[in-house]
Amino acid sequence: MVPHWHCGRLLAAVFVCSTTLVSVDAHADEPVDAGRVDALVERLGDARYDVREASDEELREIGIGAADALARAFRNDDDYEMRLRIQRIAEHIYFWDRVLGKNGFLGISHQKYTRNSPCFRMKDSRIPPDISAFSVENVIEGTSAERAGIQKCDIIVAVNGVTLPSNAVLTDFADQIRGKKPGTEMVFEFFRERERITRTIKIGHRPAQYYLLRNTPEDLKRQYQAAVDTFPQWWVERFGAWNARVAPSGAGERDAFLPLPPATDHDDE
């Protein structure tokens, strides 16, 4: 999810405003074909809605490598809808590059599997005493965990074949996941009742609102806030003055950074 700066303030709270989503498989690290990018940007102004939408999605997938072409079109085009679409794409690729595309997300809340865990029934002899197991307390709707069929009270004992020592804490488990890029496939081993299951799951990206929670790790909060703080400068350097009125290509005066109406969410992950 990526913020739109039409709420009047450049604060973390902008995530309560409209958001745009994109597939976790997007933004592969591939060389950028400048000709292809220019053609896609031009199609953002196509009269056909499906062509505009397809070009929009492809440019999001290309990522930060499309920024210069988008900036040229934004400065030179006089069509409000075209510029609005470009602005939203630019916001998305910036935040994906700086923060959202860096941190993997499974989509569960978890606790260490001990007698204090709500899912604890009895000591499980299948779990060696020298390792930590983690029980799934909740599965977040629409995430990789839900799509993979992870269920409440599944007991995770290994990730990518690696177990954690008995003195491991909750963040040790979480760090194994958030240290991977979205789209990475990870192998989870867990117990469900009498069954031992091994499942390969393609992890998603950490949704923007999960950078703002009270229990969000401090390094993630700082990473997100740094992206928020540097976005205006990034925009000005490429797209034009911030909160100023400009007249590119002989057009009448207009805002360089457009006030955005509510956006329609795209399907995610």
Write down the pLDDT at residue 258.
59
We report the CATH number of the domain holding residue 135 as 2.30.42.10
Same domain, 140 and 91: no
Pair 232, 242: CB distance under 8 Å: yes
Q: Determine the average pLDDT of the residues in 80-86.
A: 90
149, two tokens: 């069929």
Residue 163's domain spans which residues? 104-205
Same domain, 71 and 17: yes
Same domain, 186 and 120: yes
**Has residue 11 been placed in a domain?**
yes
* Residue 51 half-sphere exposure toward CB, CA atoms < 13 A: 11
| 176-206 tens-digit pLDDT | 999 899 999 999 999 998 899 999 999 999 9
Domain boundary among 205, 228, 247: 205
Q: Determine the average pLDDT of the residues in 218-226.
A: 93
Domain boundary among 147, 181, 205: 205
| Residue count of the chain | 269
Same domain, 177 and 187: yes
**Has residue 261 been placed in a domain?**
no
| 233-254 tens-digit pLDDT | 999 899 886 654 433 333 344 4
Same domain, 172 and 129: yes
Same domain, 183 and 141: yes
**Has residue 246 been placed in a domain?**
yes
Q: How many domains does the chain have?
A: 2
Write down the pLDDT at residue 125.
78
* DSSP per residue, 128-176: -TTEE-EEEEEE-TTSHHHHTT--TT-EEEEETTB-EETT--HHHHHHH
- pTM reported for the whole predicted model: 0.75
**Has residue 93 been placed in a domain?**
yes
Q: Burial of 182 by CB count in 10 Å (0-12 exposed, 13-18 middle, 19+ buried)?
A: buried
| 27-44 tens-digit pLDDT | 555 678 999 999 999 999
Domain boundary among 183, 205, 227: 205
Q: How far is CA 69 from CA 34, 65, 134, in A?
A: 8, 9, 47
| 116-125 tens-digit pLDDT | 888 887 777 7
Same domain, 131 and 178: yes
Same domain, 115 and 183: yes
Quickly count helices (H) and strands (E) in the chain: 7, 13
Q: Determine the average pLDDT of the residues in 205-219.
A: 89
* Residue 91 half-sphere exposure toward CB, CA atoms < 13 A: 25
From 154, 145, 165, 169, select the one nearest 119 (Cα to Cα): 154
**Has residue 265 been placed in a domain?**
no
Evaluate if residue 15 carries a pLDDT over 80. no
**Has residue 262 been placed in a domain?**
no
Same domain, 142 and 185: yes
C-alpha R_g of the chain: 22
From 196, 123, 121, select the one nearest 157 (Cα to Cα): 196
Dist CA 154 CA 202 (whole Å) = 18
Q: Determine the average pLDDT of the residues in 4-29.
A: 38
Pair 137, 119: CB distance under 8 Å: yes
Looking only at the bridges linking them, the beta strands covering 108-112 and 104-105 are unpaired
**Has residue 144 been placed in a domain?**
yes
Any bridge partners for residue 194, and if so which? none
Looking at the chain, the whole-number percentage of residues with pLDDT higher than 90 is: 60
